[in-house]
Chains A and B, each alone.
Chain A
Amino acid sequence: MKRFATRRSALFVLALGLIVYPLVVSRFWSVTIGAHALILGIIALSLIFLAGYGGMISLAQTAIAGMAAYAVAILTVPRLPQQILAIPDEPHWPAYLAVAAALLIATVMGALFGLIGVRSQGIYLLMLTAALGVGFFYFAEANYDFLGGHGGIPEVVSPIGYTSQNPAVFYYISLAAAVALYLGVRYLVRTPFGLALQGIRDNPRRMRALGYSVGLHRIAAFGIAGFIAGVGGVLTVWYNGSISPGTVDLTRVIELLVIAVVGGLIFPEGAFVGALAFVLVDTFASSVPAIGGFSFRERFNTLIGLTFLLVVLFSPNGLIGIAQDLTARLRRRRSAPPREPLTESLSRVGRDPASAHADPASEP
């Protein structure tokens, strides 16, 4: 009972903090750090949903977010750049229609990618989705008629105007989307569908024997992940105010994987913790003073890489895993309560996601 109360108060403090946050900090902290981390967290959430509950690591989530972003840009921008000649009149849809269309496209494309990758697993699925993701980058880079090529589509203004001029509003939109999707994922994994998906992750052969359609579940999971990534994509294009292939290039694909792994590949919360950590390091690496001629400004990728390496080496479950270890240790010292089944299930599922998920040997 006491524990329950502590948990409730901690959640309350967190919720209050998240709500008050943009009112007490500068626009930089609410948009460029806060909203940006939430948006990256949403896209990472789509990856973590697939990886943590479906056992499928997809590198195509950045591309799907990019598709939603391009859709919003094409449908809402009042003045398309000169290069876009194949569209006779600017559609100039209202934002809500454009967003709905973008999310539909993201969901359908997610499911389609799932259909393509449904029979692949592990490293093969990784390569396949990476190929699809990078393929979309090259498509965007080369398509001048609709996507504007290398320069992309400039001056996409969100319905609330420029995001850095309405920092609090944009932050709240991002926060609302993030909370809704996070709770949605938490809910979904407890539904029969979510449980079946986790069953498929752990032993697809047995699930198939039980009469579940493994392929359909996987495709549906990809579709849902596509929707989540699509929400992230819509917010991305508003956040940046433009969209170009640079938003979906290989660097961004890898960054997303880093976020998910640093946060903890099997926890939905990890997406947001990882994204916040990444945004902070990415933003402030250049402010770290040079150490003996080694300037982090020019080597911030090295810093991110080192962080990644350390996290993966010392805590395969990312930052969330570290926090769990710490609290577990604290608790043991304090009162030594009976170890809950949680720890067991974690050591089974969590310690080594790769082996716990979809064991290739169990596949026919």
Chain B
Amino acid sequence: MRTRRMTLARLLAVVFVGSLFAGACQVGGGGEIKIGGLATLEGPFAVPGQDSFRGMELALDEFAGPKDADGKWTVAGKKVTLIKEGSDATPDVALAKAKKLIEQDNVDILIGPLSGDEGLLAIKPYAKQNPEKTFLNGSSAAQDTTFRDPAPNFFRFSTDGAQWQAGLGSYAYDVKGYRNMVLVAEDYSFPYTQVGGFMYEFCDKGGHVVQKFWTKLGEKDYSAVVSGIPAGIDAIYVALGGADAINFLTQYQAAGGTAPMVGGSITVDQTVLGAQANIPEDYILGTPSAGPIADSNDEPAWLAFVDAYQKAFPDGLPSPSLFAHAYYIETKAALLALEEVNGDLSGGQKKFMEALSKLKFDTPTGPVGLDANRNGIANQYVTEVAKKDDGSLYNKVVSVTQAVDQTLGLGADSPYLAQPVSRDFPSCP
């Protein structure tokens, strides 16, 4: 017994002294600017996470390039390094990785996270605890990350999930003529925000969302939802991510459902449009959806962005995803503001943050600027599924809503914004 204890004490002492040394050997700051990138590299959003980092690197190459032999970029005469960390889309891991970037790697600027709950539960509170560092959003799109009780050093140029739906509610009501709808959406902050954005307009026009079905992220069995959808509705609003959307639509079709669909920003993507999804073409054709980007956008800025992406990442996606786009514009914003303050991050980064909040610049999807809560005001696209000459399906741009703010033009004192978006709010049964 004695030997054992002694050994253990020694072992612990060695481990402990080892960690002390490791702690002492932290790298100093110097004249270099460090940017931390946080996206998801594990779990349900691993593929979007990889595309996010492509977006960051694209912006760095374009506005701080070219990369030197050490893998560093240059902005305002200062070297810029990018340190990447991956989470698994849970707030706990996002927080741990953010702490590592800020406290251990000593990054000056953190760009991320990718998903809604990570931003709302982990990064926003953590930003408040670190007022001397600058946090730029990645693609996280929950409303209250910026709308209520924002952190003064958190900036979101990539806009939120409600803004992404701008124009869709009106389009469903006015153009499609839908009056009574049900909705099927995943049960967490990002879909709440998307549903909110859709319903602000649709309810305001006089439409009714007679029933809401909230499903678990990654749900496989939608039979309870499918059998619960009432007869006599005009359409279903579906805010489900790729695989979830396919599962739901397949099961809905198999049960003989015919009500047409209106899609959220990540619902009607290539996984649903591709031939492998067992969903009849004439059901999908004409499905409207809305988002911050549109694949078929033919504006020169967007085409140039797609071209640069394809050249830089031959093994990337066929076209940059909305995640790559979001991280790209956040990184671009950081670099432009750094240029403006001449790389000066002294004094708790006050000058840099001020430059960021006044920054206005052009993105591949048009101009962007910030509101008083440091949330982006930008263009959003309404699209509709159409067929190309070669028979493949794509999202055709039907309208662009210019300069959408976080209230979707309702104003902050609108009754629709009196409460945070949730399962039960807004409501217009």
User: Within 8 Å of chain B (Cβ to Cβ): is A18?
Assistant: yes
B188 within 8 A of A: yes
Q: Which of A1-9, A90-98, A113-121, A124-132 contacts B (4 or more CB under 8 A)?
A: A1-9
Which residue from B26, B84, B93 sits with its C-beta under 8 Å from A246?
B93
Query: Is B95's CB under 8 angstroms from A154's CB?
Result: no
Interface readout for B100-131 with A: 1 if CB under 8 Å, 0 if not? 10011000000000000100111001100100
Contact at B90–A17, with CB atoms within 8 Å?
no
In whole angstroms, how far apart are the Cα atoms of A165 and B17 in the complex? Answer: 24
Residues of B contacting A21 with CB < 8 Å?
16, 20
| Contacts A7-B9, A273-B15, A331-B3; A151 near B117 (Cβ below 8 A) | yes
User: Chain A residues with Cβ under 8 A from B103's Cβ?
Assistant: 26-28, 32, 164
Verify if B189 is at the interface (C-beta below 8 Å from A): yes
| Per-residue contact bits, chain A 1-35, to B (CB 8 Å; 1 contact, 0 not) | 00110110011011001100100111111011110
Contacts of A249 in B (CB 8 A): 90
Given contacts A17-B17, A244-B117, A273-B12, is CB(A32)–CB(B104) below 8 Å? yes
Which of B236-244, B338-346, B347-355, B420-428 has 4 or more CB atoms under 8 Å from chain A?
B420-428
A323 contacts B7, C-beta separation under 8 Å: yes
B100, A28: Cβ atoms under 8 Å?
A: yes
Measured CB to CB, the nearest residue on chain B to A157 is: B125
Q: Which residue of B lies closest to A6 (CB)?
A: B6
Q: Is A238 an interface residue (CB 8 A)?
A: no
**Which residues of B sit under 8 angstroms from A283, Cβ to Cβ?**
96, 100, 104
Q: Are B92 and A17 neighbours in the complex by a CB distance under 8 Å?
A: no
Distance between Cα atoms of A300 and B424 in the complex (Å): 40
Of the candidate stretches A43-51, A141-149, A198-206, the one touching chain B is A141-149
Interface of A is mostly: helix
Task: Report the contact-size class of chain A (Cβ under 8 Å from the partner).
Answer: 35 or more
Contact yes or no, A82 B419, CB < 8 A = yes
A25-B23, A149-B188 given as contacts; is B3 within 8 A of A327 (CB)?
yes
**Set of chain B residues within 8 Å of A340, measured between Cβ atoms:** 2-3
- Is B120 a contact of A154 with CB atoms below 8 Å? yes
Q: Find chain B residues with CB under 8 A from A18 CB.
A: 16
Check if B91 is an interface residue, CB within 8 A of chain A: yes
B42 on interface, CB distance cutoff 8 Å: yes
Tell me which residues across on chain B come within 8 A of A144, comparing CB atoms.
187, 423
Is A347's CB within 8 Å of the partner chain B? no
* Residue A53 lies at the interface, judged by CB distance under 8 Å to chain B: no
A55 to B96, alpha carbons, bound, how many Å? 33
Near A by CB (< 8 A), chain B positions 1-30 give 1-13, 15-17, 19-20, 23-24, 26
B88 within 8 A of partner (CB): yes
Q: Given the known A-B contacts A240-B95, A247-B92, A286-B86, are A323 and B8 also in contact in the complex, defined by CB atoms under 8 Å?
A: yes
Cβ distance B364 to chain A, nearest Cβ, rounded Å: 26
Q: Within 8 Å CB of A276, what residues of B?
A: 15, 19
B85 contacts the other chain (CB 8 A): yes
Contact across chains for B216 and A4 when beta carbons are under 8 A apart: no
Q: Given A7-B6, A246-B91, A331-B3, A17 and B23 touching (CB < 8 A)?
A: no
What B residues does A28 contact at CB under 8 A? 99-100, 103-104
Q: Give bound CA distance, A13 to B296, whole Å.
A: 67
Question: Which positions 248-278 of chain A face chain B at CB distance < 8 Å?
Answer: 249, 251, 267, 269, 272-273, 276
Chain B residues proximal to chain A, CB less than 8 Å: 1-13, 15-17, 19-20, 23-24, 26, 41-42, 50, 84-86, 88-93, 95-96, 99-100, 103-104, 117, 120-122, 125-126, 129, 187-189, 216-217, 419-420, 422-425
What are 15 A-B residue pairs whose CB atoms fall within 8 Å in the complex?
Answer: A10-B13, A14-B9, A18-B16, A21-B20, A28-B100, A82-B420, A155-B125, A244-B121, A246-B90, A251-B88, A272-B12, A280-B19, A297-B85, A298-B50, A323-B8
**Chain A residues near B (Cβ < 8 Å):** 3-4, 6-7, 10-11, 13-14, 17-18, 21, 24-29, 31-34, 36, 81-83, 85, 141-142, 144, 149-152, 154-155, 162, 164-165, 240-242, 244, 246-247, 249, 251, 267, 269, 272-273, 276, 280, 282-283, 286, 297-298, 300-301, 319-320, 323-324, 327-328, 331, 340, 342
